[in-house]
Amino acid sequence: MGTGPDIAQLAARQFGVFARSQGRALGMTRATERSRLTSGHWRQVHPGVFTIVGAAETWEQRAMAAVLSAGNGAVASHVTAGVIWGFPNLDSQPLPIEITTTRPQRIRPRRVRVHRTVAFLEREHTVKGGLPVTTPARTLVDLSAFWSVQQLGIATDSSMRKHFMRLDDLRTCVAGLPSAPGRKPSRIQSVLAKRLPGYDPGESGLEMRVLRAIVAYGLPEPVQQHQLQLPDRRCRIDLAYPNYKIAIEVDGWEHHGRRSAFEPDRARANDIAIARWLPLHFTADSSDRVVGRKTEEALRARGWRPNAGWGWGRRSI
**pLDDT tens, residue by residue, 244-292:** 999 999 986 554 444 445 555 666 777 787 778 999 999 989 999 999 9
Over the stretch 61-76, which tens digit does the pLDDT of each residue have? 999 999 999 988 899 9
pTM value is 0.82
**Closest to 203 measured CA to CA, from 171, 178, 225, 179:** 171
What tens digit of pLDDT does each residue of 216-233 get?
Answer: 898 999 999 888 887 777
Given CATH 3.40.960.10, say whether it is the number of domain 210-301. Answer: yes
Shortest CA distance to 46 belongs to which of 30, 62, 34?
62
Which stretches does DSSP call E strand in 39-177? Answer: 42-46, 49-52, 75-76, 97-101, 112-116, 125-128, 131-134
pLDDT digits (tens, 9 = 90+) for 285-303: 999 999 999 999 999 999 9
Cα distance between residue 92 and residue 51, in whole Å: 20
How is the chain split into domains, by residue range?
94-203, 210-301
Q: Report the candidate in 221, 215, 167 with the shortest Cα–Cα distance to residue 194.
A: 167
Residues 6 or more apart from 185 whose CB is under 8 A from it?
141, 144, 174, 177, 178, 179, 201
Q: Between the CA of residue 162 and those of 56, 134, 137, 224, what are the distances in Å? A: 28, 16, 13, 27
Mean confidence (pLDDT) of the chain? 86
